[in-house]
Structure 1
């Protein structure tokens, strides 16, 4: 097993996509198997040395940034175990935690299968994706990562190995979960708060009669180290009809997306085959289009908003479904002659690249001003869909700050990126972020839909679940990690672990 105290080797593990600064560590270790993971954790437990689990550095909330102790890199724990057919309509994949999502999709595709959640960052490790309950554009149809995890193998600080399968170790009527480790039995008392029934990745997931597996999904490296992951796959769709449609007004895009969502949900409930059913609905406001024009000058100059849509098709259904979509577009003043529609799988792929281009362009702008992105990851219940859109637009317009809005409109989940050009604007941006977060919480929303809490959003989670909720999470953590060494400072502020 490779270990290093060389500052030059440690340095890359002191940063991630959050741009959180100030991280430091005494050592980085690279276990290659489960036995080595156990040895590292047992040694750290004996010396009370903090251990920060590191994925591929794609996280946006600073969970992998260490502040002392050891960095445990999972990059040598990859290793695709196999892709298996479960039945005629589904399969599953077993892998180590360091397989990238791109590698996972390629392995699935080679077997005629698809991993449905489709998180945006394809260089992320599957272990990290599970650790944050990541989601993506297709979450509207298929749900987040949690829905597709069948099994996890987890090593605890105690040296215990947990085998967690979907449906096993359920919470009892008094909210207790009993876990059988390889060495110990753990009794966990679940918190009193309940996770909202919306897209959500903030703190430990808690619902009545939940499976123990769900406690670890979204735990952001604070409860154990994943050494094996098993996720479900579906048959790869025959094809897609997709496009990027442009509109003259932002409100037109809001109402288009809302109707497309409602039609899709209605058809899913009725289980009507070969009917209108969007798998993707992604929104871009006028400011996002302005930024995208630097890379895509062919965007219509009068367009003030856009929606990227995707519909799964079969050979016999394309004509009918295309007609249904075009009727919808005509009802919402879409600039049909200037919109883009896929005629091939290559064009469909190019549209997905277009969607993923905006975060990279935003980061490029921020680097010019040496600033850190202030990006929201809020989501709200359906009844506050239009409230959210109006809140973002009016509040940001009044602030005078530069910003853009884009993202998963069908999930009531948009990313507002505030783009400060100096430290003063950054301070104002974070004040605005806090004000919006308070409103989101009052509406019953989540302060993190898909990125997790990490070290950056702990105070917002405290506002969301309260002091008692954080204390109850800390009690769970201390049962599994008695000395609080794993993922120190992530999700739970350290002072809650010292009481």
Structure 2
């Protein structure tokens, strides 16, 4: 067993925690990985210097470190390991905003929503918006290259990370990038660390690119009698326009959300699309009208449009609460497979076929505008047969995405739950290159062991 008393002596009181009751609350992230181990200690540093102290101590002793943000990850990327240190960034919460350069410098423990609120005070906007934006951390967003509802028009986390401070596996602190919109000096190391899931270094500070405040949005909501018609509408819309949001819910999600919100969604619909436009001035009206017309042409049974912000936001909230609404039906195996847009229909209908064959309930919600779907498998873990069928469906959905030229993860990361499928997607040469990079930056393999590789 690792003796952490010498580590505690190097840090302020309360940074190192060994209370078993507290550790129990940190062993798993939202993925609820059943393979979670028991860490030697929880470490909650407040600044980069303290993180570096922890990493140096661990490096000297060969002790593993599992970095953790807010614990909202959905791929087991923050699953505790036996005898490891679990390093939480929750106490690292400083932020400064520079309206002139339109940048913010933020510590990783801030929630995405808190970053948005801080920059909004200066009339600015941080676009990436995972559905869990109110509870997920900005450091975790960077570690997984999180996306969200507005990615179809505004991109994902990596598009807004200009620089960072990182503690490497031996405790060395490096600063990458900075508040410059253009910078081609050297290798693109900043981008290397975004999405690396804590396997290459621990991010202790982020320099974020900001935009002017988002214009008011108008909203289109369309119901469809078939999945195929909804997918046809998605392709028609994305072939002509770049809406600020284009989201999809299937019938299972529609009914789960309606059970919770009671907002009058069509329970008989096979699919629902929620599209938004933030085009300036009269262009918003033209874009909304075109979206509505394309939905009608694709066979929508009902189309509703509004420029009322509160009314439009209510439908966005309906999409955001889909996962917690479905969790009321039982534990979930969550996926975030993505495919090129022309293959979206094959993916959605293929997932429905897998659900039928495996006799499990699978709901599909999606960031439809960029082909990133979230199949949600509802199952009873106490039922061994159903659990086995759910796991089979989980793997077959990833196999299907790969076969369609897609990805096993669009924004949640590989973590521990999906790593068995990564070689099938990227191939042996890329896996070898990934291991080479990992070995160069973390030769002892102490950073988030078991994740990704």
Taking structure 2 as the reference length, the TM-score comes to 0.90
1:435-473 Cα offsets, whole Å, 9 max, x none, are 332232233321111100111111111322344533432
Contact 1:83 1:107 in 2 (8 A): no
Matched, 1:64 2:78: yes
Give the structure 1 partner of residue 220 of structure 2.
243
Q: 1:308 to 1:3 in 2, by over 3 A?
A: same
Corresponding residue of 1:440: 401
Supply the distance in 1 between the matched residues of 2:401 and 2:110 (Cα, whole angstroms): 35
Helix, strand or coil: the match of 1:82? strand
Aligned to 2:125: 114
**Which one of the candidate residues 246, 251, 275 is aligned to 1:286?**
251
Pair 1:92-2:107 in alignment: no
Provide the rounded CA distance (Å) in 1 between the counterparts of 2:258 and 2:390.
24
Residue 425 of structure 1 corresponds to 386
Match of 1:411 among 348, 367, 370: 370
After superposition, the Cα gap between the structure-2 partners of 1:46 and 1:289, relative to the gap in structure 1 and judged at 3 Å, is same
1:146 equivalent among 135, 140, 158:
158
- Equivalent position SS for 1:72: strand
CA distance in 1, matches of 2:342, 2:301: 28
Please report how far the alpha carbon of residue 257 of structure 1 lies from its aligned counterpart in structure 2 after TM superposition. 1.2
Q: Unmatched 5+ residue regions in structure 2?
A: 1-11
8 Å Cα contact 1:169/1:212 also seen in 2: no
Q: Assess, with a 3 A threshold, how the Cα gap between structure 1 residues 318 and 470 changes in structure 2: closer, same or farther.
A: closer
Paired with 1:442 and 1:363, the residues of 2 have a C-alpha distance of 29
1:154 touches 1:163 (CA, 8 Å); kept in 2?
yes
State which of 291, 299, 314 in structure 2 corresponds to 1:333: 299
Once residues 90 and 339 of structure 2 are traced to their aligned partners in structure 1, the CA distance between those partners, rounded to angstroms, is: 35
- Confirm or deny: 8 A CA contact 1:151 1:230 kept in the other structure: yes
User: 1:319/1:28 Cα in 2 relative to 1: closer, same or farther (>3 Å)?
Assistant: closer
Conserved? CA contact 1:240–1:311, under 8 Å: yes
Please list every run of 5 or more consecutive structure 1 residues that lacks an aligned counterpart in the other structure. Answer: 172-210, 265-276, 493-499
Return the offset for 1:60.
0.6
RMSD over equivalenced CA pairs, Å: 1.9
Match of 2:194 in 1: 217
Is the 1:238–1:313 contact (alpha carbons within 8 Å) kept by the matching residues of 2? yes
Indicate the SS of the match to 1:317.
helix
Cα shift at 1:49 = 0.8
Residue 81 of structure 1 aligns to a residue in which SS? Answer: strand
Deviation at 1:484, TM superposition (A): 1.1
1:32 counterpart = 2:46? yes
Distance in 2 (CA, whole Å) between partners of 1:73 and 1:385 is 37
Which residue of the partner structure matches residue 390 of structure 1?
Answer: 349
Could you tell me how far 1:321 is from its partner in structure 2? 3.3
Deviation of 1:340 after TM superposition, in Å, equals 4.4
1:350-365 aligned at under 5 Å gives the runs 350-365=314-329
| Structure 2: distance between partners of 1:329 and 1:463 | 36
Quick one: distance in 2 between partners of 1:431 and 1:335? 35
Given that 2:94 and 2:110 are in contact with CA atoms closer than 8 Å, whether structure 1 keeps it comes out as yes
- Alpha-carbon contact 1:237-1:313 (below 8 Å) kept: no
1:312-331 equivalent positions in 2, closer than 5 A: 312-331=278-297
Q: Give the length in aligned residue pairs.
A: 430
Could you tell me which of 448, 459, 466 is aligned with 2:420?
Answer: 459
Could you say which residue in structure 1 is the equivalent of 2:271? Answer: 305
Correspondence for 2:447 = 486
Aligned match of 1:261: 238
Return the alpha-carbon distance in structure 1 between the equivalents of residues 281 and 184 of structure 2: 41
The 3-state SS of whatever aligns with 1:393 is helix
SS in structure 2 of the partner of residue 253 of structure 1: helix
Q: Deviations over 1:200-257 (max 9, x none)?
A: xxxxxxxxxxx11111010001111111101111111221001322122222211111
Aligned residue in 1 for 2:89: 74
| SS of residue matched to 1:154 | strand
Between the aligned partners of 1:383 and 1:407, the Cα distance in structure 2 is 15
1:346 aligns with 2:346: no
- Structure 1 equivalent of residue 24 of structure 2: 11
